Amino acid sequence: MRYVVGYTPNERSADAVALASAMARAQGARLDLVHVVDQGALHAAGNPGGGQVSAEEQAVLTAQRKGLGLTPEDVSVEFHVRNADSFAAGLIDAAVGAEMIVVGAANDGLFKRHTVGSVANALLHASPVPVALAPRGYRRTEAVTRLTLAVGQRAGADAAIDSAVDSAKRRGLPLRLVSLVELDAEGDRSEVVNAAHIHANTVLTEAPRRLPEGHKVTVEVAHGRTIEECIDNLEWDDGEILIVGSSRLAEKNKLFIGSTANKVLRALPVPMMVIPRDYQRMGTVLAN
């Protein structure tokens, strides 16, 4: 089992390495730190040769040293250099047979918040495997402690629900189901809130049937004038990851986050993992 981590020697990538390390420590996965370069620097890492090192080769060697230095000693890691037309394309190519791609938020975002840069945006529209996003300043490397699933009411949420339940079961992690109620949205407030409670509790009723007896599963309905306010009204553990599904508009086995997930992402203080529509292998992402 391996996770592909997008790496360049900057703060955003350091966030990604920390998150990937936390998940790898939880279940013994291997990390592939992937550095995307042009053809001239492709061969540098691992065998720079006995001659003079070019500027491109030196940059790759520096990235390799810094990236491996960020990874805890008990996490298995390899450094890879790939040639591609874009950073996102290189990561997608490297993720063939992998369980997940991990990247960091843009460098100019708020601390402990997500700002989607060009690489993350491209991945969220094209990746065939789950994508985990680390918020700016994320440096926790201890194992994941809880999974939270954003429970949507629209068709297409089943893949995310199945993934979260399977992951929690195999990892033995507490599972929290959260329904977000935007009170300023169209419709009668009382009806919207009631529908959210009914749906969340329906999912909660079904989930324990697939989990061992005594497995901790909780449900919360968060109210707010906006989605961002809903997120702010929830309590978040430092070792938590939020799981969301792709928009119903996504192509099969591809990612595409809708307007609600985008709003969640802007306010979220913990990592987010996005699951492709109809994805079947998420159960192995955080589980043996």
Beta bridge partners, 221, equal: 179
pLDDT given at position 192: 64
- Same domain for 206 and 126, yes or no, is no
Between CA 262 and CA 258 the distance in angstroms is 6
- Same domain for 79 and 186, yes or no, is no
User: Are 267 and 231 within 8 A, CB to CB?
Assistant: yes
User: Are 287 and 170 within 8 A, CB to CB?
Assistant: yes
- Residue 122 sits in a domain of what CATH number? 3.40.50.620
The residue among 109, 134, 159 that closes a domain is 134
Does the predicted model carry a pTM greater than 0.75?
yes
User: How many structural domains is the chain composed of?
Assistant: 2
- Same domain for 153 and 280, yes or no, is yes
* Token pair in block for residue 99: 């369980």
- Same domain for 69 and 119, yes or no, is yes
Between CA 115 and CA 122 the distance in angstroms is 13
For residue 141, is it within any domain? Answer: no
pLDDT given at position 252: 54
- Same domain for 116 and 42, yes or no, is yes
* Token pair in block for residue 175: 């599972």
- Same domain for 126 and 152, yes or no, is no
pLDDT given at position 284: 45
pLDDT given at position 87: 93
Task: Name which of 288, 276, 268 is nearest 19 in CA terms.
Answer: 268
Burial class (CB in 10 A: 0-12, 13-18, 19+), 112: middle
CA–chain centroid gap for 217, Å, is 21
pLDDT given at position 44: 47
For residue 140, is it within any domain? Answer: no
The backbone region for 199, taken as left when phi is positive above 0, alpha when psi lies in -120 to 50, beta otherwise, is alpha
- Same domain for 33 and 162, yes or no, is no
> Would you write out the chain's pLDDT as a tens digit for each of its 288 residues?
899 999 999 999 999 999 999 999 987 789 999 999 865 445 544 455 555 667 778 888 999 999 999 999 999 999 999 999 899 999 999 999 999 999 997 665 555 666 677 888 889 888 889 999 999 899 999 999 999 998 765 544 677 777 788 878 877 889 998 888 876 555 566 766 676 667 667 766 776 677 877 788 888 888 888 888 999 999 999 999 999 887 654 455 455 566 777 788 888 999 999 888 777 654 445 544
The residue among 113, 134, 155 that closes a domain is 134
Ordered alpha helix ranges (H), the chain: 11-27, 55-69, 87-94, 118-126, 158-171, 189-206, 227-232, 259-267
For residue 253, is it within any domain? Answer: yes
pLDDT given at position 132: 94
- Same domain for 155 and 130, yes or no, is no
- pLDDT of 270-285, one tens digit each? 999 988 877 765 444 5
pLDDT given at position 165: 82
- Same domain for 215 and 130, yes or no, is no
- Same domain for 120 and 170, yes or no, is no
Provide the residue range defining the domain that includes 42: 2-134
- Same domain for 12 and 60, yes or no, is yes
* Token pair in block for residue 5: 């981590």
